[in-house]
Structure 1
Amino acid sequence: SSYSNENAHSDREDIDYQRVPRRTPMACQFCRARKLKCDGRQTCANCIRRGLICSYVPVYVHIRLATVNEP
Structure 2
Amino acid sequence: MWAGSGEQGAYFDKVVERILIPAVASPVVAGVAALPATVFALGVLGHARVEAARHGDTGSDTLGFP
The TM-score, its normalising length taken from structure 2, stands at 0.36
Highest CA radius of gyration, 1 or 2? Answer: 2
Greater share of residues in helix: 2
Q: Which has the higher contact order (CA 8 A, sep 6+)?
A: 1
The TM-score, its normalising length taken from structure 1, stands at 0.34
